[in-house]
Amino acid sequence: MNASGAREHVAVLRSLEGDARADRLLADAHALGIEALRAVRCAELVFVRGAALDDVAPLLDDPLLVDVQEERADSIVGGVVVETALHPGVTDSVAAALVRGAGRLGVGPVEAATGRRFELVGDLAVDDVERLATRLLANPVIERCRIGRVDPPWEGATAAACVERISISALADEGLLAVSAERGLALDLAEMRAVRDWFAGQGREPTDVELEMIAQTWSEHCSHKTFRATIAVGGRGAVAPLLRQLRDCTERIAAPWVRSAFDGNAGVIGFDSDWDLALKAETHNHPSAVEPFGGANTGVGGVVRDVLGVSARPIAVTDVLCFGPTDAAPEDVPDGVLHPRLVRAGVIAGVADYGNKLGLPTVAGAIVHDLGYTANPLVFCGCVGLLPAGTRHDGPHPGDRVVVIGGRTGRDGIRGATFSSMAMDASTGEVAGASVQIGDPVVEKGVIEVVVAARERGLYSAITDCGAGGLSSAVGEMGERVGAEVELEQVPRKYAGLAPWEVWLSEAQERMVLAVPPVSLGALRELCRRHEVELADIGAFTGHGRIVVRDGGEVVLDLEGRFLHDGRPPRTLVAVTPSVPAPSHSGRGGVEPAAALLSLLAHPSVRSNADVVRGYDHEILGATVGRPSAGAADDGPADAAVLRPAGLGSSAGAAVGIGVNARYGMFDAYRMAWAVVDEAIRNVVAVGADPARVALLDNFSWGDPGDPQVLGALVTAVEGCVAAAEAHHAPYVSGKDSLHNVYATPAGERRSVPPTLVITALGRLPDVAQLVGSDLLHAGDAVYLVGATHDELRGSHLDLVLGIDGPGDVPAPDEGAPTRYRRLHRAMRDGLVAACHDLSEGGLAVAAAEMAIAGRLGLDLAVSGDPLVALFSESLGRFLVEVRPEHVDAFQAALGGEATAIGTVRAEPRLRAAVAGVTHIDLPLGDLLRAWQGHVAGSGASGHEGET
């Protein structure tokens, strides 16, 4: 700030039209109990140094969208003003783009930074303004906030760029644990003893670089030590390590079209004679809890790089998001926890920002709301990639160069691997700022183009992404057997002052590490220059089996690859098989099915996600032939997305389906696992995928594995995964576990997430022209229920909206489902199915309502049994199928007695459902629409044809 009090060269960008951000902030403020706020006016701030604003005006001015003004000393008038700016060192991708643009205009060198201004109108008390500033307008993990003007973050992050020797050789157990705690290493006593003893054998103390590298390599996040542990289960003895169970399952299935499973960054399966598909799903839970936008944003970026790490071009992304109740009272949100409204908004925006800017469609996913996710939101990001069949790399080889391409290294993402391996508490946001990464998808787009072009020209022998643990993990894993030597001075940095361990451990985004034969280095440099991607040659793979790191010629790390990757003491854990708790409620007497259906359709975990999907570009690249929404008004729910990437020689397509239902896991983790595997497969089968060609990804988000009950549930869930996959003959090709999703309140209460398993299924449609939709098509068609309904209401979404834990069973495994799915698929191939929708949350009643909504037609249904069971049971393995009258006999013959005629499609837009001759639901389509999408702005749900 200069002497006059005005900041030099500050542009103020205001939206010309109605600002949706202002409306959302006003609603969020009222939800926080600050009713005195009457209006909010938002503006973006752009700080420029090294050039006048006129010089960069072409990069800021958009007469259709924004009004650009240069700030004057008197430019803030009326109301209370709050301004924010990023902390020094936090990635500012907008400012980076401005600097790049200025360079192209011939302006510079220029420095830039961005911030935000909020003008608050209302009779606000001082504490109201402070609450708004700290709880709503800024995230202190990444931003500075000030009432009034905020200074731009010109100064870079600084630290003494030195190497420490950590004296541990003489430490007893208490001292070892203190070192682990003080440095956030997340290493237990046995691990710290192993570290001490190894260095004692080397005759020296470890450097901070070495200690930090060991910690990230041995972290739960990177080494999966619970999934690799020996687990003794009470009453049963030891079970095989969980990861081995999943891998053995895939080996027993022995699907010939699996190209690579549980090896490298992503799984790879055969698609046709010319192309393979890569698939991966990751979690980004802890980062999203403390910085929702950045956490979800870099979750997408990270999983895209996982697929790029097997040399595949990313073609689509997915997301499964789990939040606490967005209507939670502020006083019910624990200290140090962001309100679920803010978490949800930030996460959704982060997912959209990265995928949209990369030019990748977001094609499938789910949104779940439950009280158990209030302090621990879960973010699952997935990616599908395309690569030439048979693409493999056999390096690195001794003599190959260690090459880093993409973003520069900063202090963002420090200790992210160990941070994600620990429970959170009220202080997490204060201490984890360096663990939060901020993405720059524009840089990643260039990296993608370089990698794909380099793959086609054979310019590298091995590749991996720079993810958790940064260069430490990437170079450490690539050089595990062959060895590598690195010079940290060659690593490009965002700013000066980084200590060597920070450079080595930083998880700064948009970086890939390649093993490049020296003869290919010039060609790779030229590719990077063409795509404006930075390249750094930082060392070489050696052949001596050690990882050696220097900083200015001084050795700061020298570790044996064998010790680093095989020296961690194996864990032996104790588990208790959890028993199914007795219901806490005696029954469901007095429930009115029609009212229950409307409540189910309006529940945040069931209702339309059009308000989210519209923010994602699911059409880009022109490959999405089966969209997230479907039907007459393109607003009905689709069971799975279907992709047919451009350039394929065949008419085949890839279907992506999701299975998730943590409610079952609260009662029976084994049945929950079966259910979500079955749901994911059921979703892709419903659109026409061949059930004999389905690959699976598993993603576990669990609580504290040190709790025998929690670990016991994890053991039974893995066993359920294995049993379901083998029954369906569907192999796992990759997976990820995220443990320690626990929040410790200031009062000492530990809150764990519900046991949550997400299964992603990728199936193959032989011909996309035979894709089957979920929307009703023709009045007069017959409607069939495929599969059997049982009294399985325990953990149901009916109980969720009733607010009870009622009697009955969690849906049991359906051993007959695999055969039934194959029969249904043959009927689809023969053209006997007009429409199909799977039965899941809310059972038959919700599935029927969704098909009616999608097709804007009515249904008359008649079933037998107990009304609540018949209408709302969530038994597995079931579909609702529409069949043309001329195909009825052939369809029944094809299903071999597995299909029951239960109704007819009607032109009148109304849903009627009778049970044992008594009508229990009789609702116009307008009522169904209002419940299902009434929360979506602009949906028109307040007025639809057919209302009575």
Q: Just list the catalytic residues.
A: 221, 284
Closest listed residue to residue 192, CA positions, set 226, 222, 166 = 166
Q: How far is the CA of 475 from the CAs of 303, 469, 471, 619, 945, in angstroms?
A: 18, 10, 6, 36, 62
Tabulate helix, strand, coil % of the chain (nearest 5). Answer: 35, 25, 40
Closest listed residue to residue 935, CA positions, set 225, 327, 496, 183 = 327
Taking residue 835's Cβ as centre, other Cβ atoms within 10 Å add up to 24
Rounded Cα distance, 506 and 416, in Å: 8
Instruction: Examine residue 492 and say whether the peptide bond preceding it is cis (omega within 30 degrees of 0).
Output: no
**What are the structure tokens assigned to 913, written together?**
């459902």
Q: Are the beta carbons of 732 and 697 closer than 8 angstroms?
A: yes
Containing 719, the helix (H) or strand (E) segment is: helix 708-728
DSSP state of 133: I
Angle between helices 93-104 and 53-60 in degrees, nearest 10: 110
Sort strands 742-744 and 750-752 into parallel, antiparallel or unpaired.
Answer: antiparallel
Those residues with Cβ within 8 angstroms of residue 77's Cβ, 6 or more apart along the chain or in another chain:
none
Rounded Cα distance, 901 and 881, in Å: 9
Q: Are the beta carbons of 638 and 298 closer than 8 angstroms?
A: no
Those residues with Cβ within 8 angstroms of residue 705's Cβ, 6 or more apart along the chain or in another chain:
226, 573, 711, 714, 739, 740
DSSP state of 265: S
CA angle 716, 722, 724 (to 5 degrees): 100
Tell me which residue has tokens 């720059």. Answer: 440
Q: What is the 3-state secondary structure (H, E, C) of 835-899?
A: EEEECCCCHHHHHHHHHHHHHCCEEEEEECCCHHHHHHCCCCCCEEEEECHHHHHHHHHHHCCCE
Number of H helices, E strands in the chain: 30, 40
Closest listed residue to residue 920, CA positions, set 588, 595, 602, 601 = 595
Region for residue 168 given its phi and psi (left: phi exceeds 0; alpha: psi -120 to 50; beta: otherwise): alpha
Q: Which residues of 46-85 are buried (b: 16+ CB within 10 A; e: fewer)?
A: bbbeebebebbeebbeeeeebebeebeeeebeebbbbbbb
Q: Are the beta carbons of 347 and 296 closer than 8 angstroms?
A: yes
Rounded Cα distance, 749 and 754, in Å: 16
Rounded Cα distance, 842 and 874, in Å: 7
**C-alpha 124: how far from chain center:** 38
Q: Is 422 helix (H, G, I), strand (E, B) or coil?
A: coil
Q: Are the beta carbons of 82 and 134 closer than 8 angstroms?
A: no
Q: Which residues of 399-434 are buried (b: 16+ CB within 10 A; e: fewer)?
A: ebbbbbbbbbbbbbbbbbbbbbbbbbbbebbeebbb
Closest listed residue to residue 875, CA positions, set 824, 914, 839, 821 = 839
Rounded Cα distance, 677 and 720, in Å: 9
